[in-house]
Amino acid sequence: KPINIVAGNDFYTAKQAEYSKSGNYLTRSLVALTDVGQNTSISRINAKLEAFPAWNAATIEKRHAMLIALAQDVWKTTPIDVS
């Protein structure tokens, strides 16, 4: 089952234990970043991620912007000027 379903419809603090068990590193990184050596794929992505002890409008916006920047870096995209 998806981790958010397992965690249930509860407050973020109650869901953190389930998120930390996820097989998906991006989901686990919501709670804590794992320190794994130097110049590893995990250490390189950690430089672009941040764990969030609280979940509110400001941290959701920050996580959203962080994931957009990460996707643009991975796929080497640039914003499209639609004006």
CA dihedral 5, 7, 51, 59 (to 10 degrees): 70
Contacts with 54 (C-beta within 8 Å, 6 or more apart), sequence order: 12
**What would the pLDDT profile of 23-75 be if each residue is shown by its tens digit?**
999 999 999 999 988 989 899 999 999 999 999 999 999 999 999 999 988 88
What is the distance between the alpha carbons of residues 48 and 44, in angstroms, rounded to a whole number?
Answer: 7
Tell me the pTM.
Answer: 0.75
pLDDT at 1: 65
